[in-house]
Structure 1
Amino acid sequence: MGLLLTFALVRGLPAPRWTIPAALAALLVDAVWTLPAGGPGHSGYVWVLQPSDAGVDMPSGFESALSACWAPLAAVALFLLAWRHGGERRRRPLIAAAVLAGFSVTGYAVVRVIDIWLEVRARHVQSRSIIDVTDTVTAVILAVLPPLVLGLTAVALVVVLAGHGRRLAAAGAFLLAVSVLPSVDASLGAVPLPLYAGDRTALFSWHAITPTLAMMQPVLAVTTLVEMTALLLLIAGIVGWRGPARADQPSPAARDPRP
């Protein structure tokens, strides 16, 4: 985040000048807040088994999803607020890709919710379990709301940036919208569900890539890499990447035939 802010300051902040620092400040706060705890005696990973009456405070699916999505959602909302007016260009390929991403994010969330609802209801009817189907489905719907709102807001930003001709920034917003798909499964993973409920439609869950000792959560690592790439493209595109000037290119004064 610090490197992105430095890059933006060096290249020059576009109007409104407060947008990029405010967006990066939210992302920086989230990055510092989510740093893993460690100390002088901390080394490696350990498994800790807690009894059921230990009183450990576990966040709900909605709280887990909100804590993961609030910073990029705030950044995307700020960019959307700043760039919502003035765009008249229409980049049909980018807009088509944005619509496809919006349908993908919404459709995937709906399919996951319906699959979990059917599985929970079937088990409740067969075994007459004490699981409250209504409460479980409500928790599932609340869990997918933050990543869904983030994805749709990023899709709206793609359309707005495409209207301003910022193709690189629009590509970053599109990549950010696509990266929401693993967040849907991660949010649902925080909801207490019956064993294997909804696993048949989970395409981006934590075990989609086999974990190893070297990389305990590869899906999360890949998702973070995609999000960082999306933010890099978004900031670079908004600031305006012109690239280094070519030495063999004549200056404007040399091209002007007037004295």
Structure 2
Amino acid sequence: MLLKDKVAVIYGAGGAIGGAVGRAFAREGAKVFLTGRTVAAVEAVAKDIDAAGGSAEAAEVDAVDEQAVSAHLEAVVEKAGRLDISFNAIGLSNADILGVPLAQLEAEHFSQPLLSYVSSYFLTARLAARHMLPNRSGVIMTVTALHSRIGVPLVGGYGPAQAAKEALTRNLSAELASQGIRVVGLRPQGMPESRTIKDAFEPRAKATGMTWEQWLEFLAARTHTRRLMTLEEMANVAAFAASDRASGMTGTTVNLTMGSMDD
């Protein structure tokens, strides 16, 4: 098992990406602590993990609330003895953010993804690092998107937010890697099972009449494989990147766009 006896906290675990990562970590032997703003969704993932023979606990934690994140981490470390992995997979759904041209977008709606995504990643990473530094060991992770590197219309501040998260991954690593803490991001293009790809589809469907099948074909045509990545494939890479076998990987965001974007 890649993550045998590791202790992992996942933020946004009630979503498709966070849930998939939680299941993959548990399959590889990690003790996972799942958090989210809606505890029912997180508990459903925990039940799946428990039923498969894994170890999971669920908690309601708002990942943009510093006090809530800090209190939860203190409880995790008190119970498990340490923190090995922090994975931020929070999501944001707001119809006012997507589908509006930048020239028409309200400033507060442009700023919302930056404030939510970037602030949450910073808070969870900073607090995780404080628990990892005494042991000089740990992995801090997050997930971004193709929008961080390629101009995409009608996504408001979502693309700049993902780019800022990738810059933060590099900066965190520059400060923490010499002290035994790796920082790694994942950048998938789009996964049909995730909410993000559905949120991106809706404004385009309204504007062009594009069907869901046409949207998936359009995205897949840009990849070398002519298909999109699955949640399980992304989560398997996350498990490897979090493991000691990826000890040489830090300060980078792994390109999982299946060839849509050259690195």
TM range (shorter): 0.3 to 0.5
Name the structure with the higher strand share: 2
Name the structure with the higher helix share: 1
Larger RCO of the pair (alpha carbons < 8 Å, separation 6+) = 1
User: Normalising by structure 1, what TM-score?
Assistant: 0.34
- Rg larger for: 1
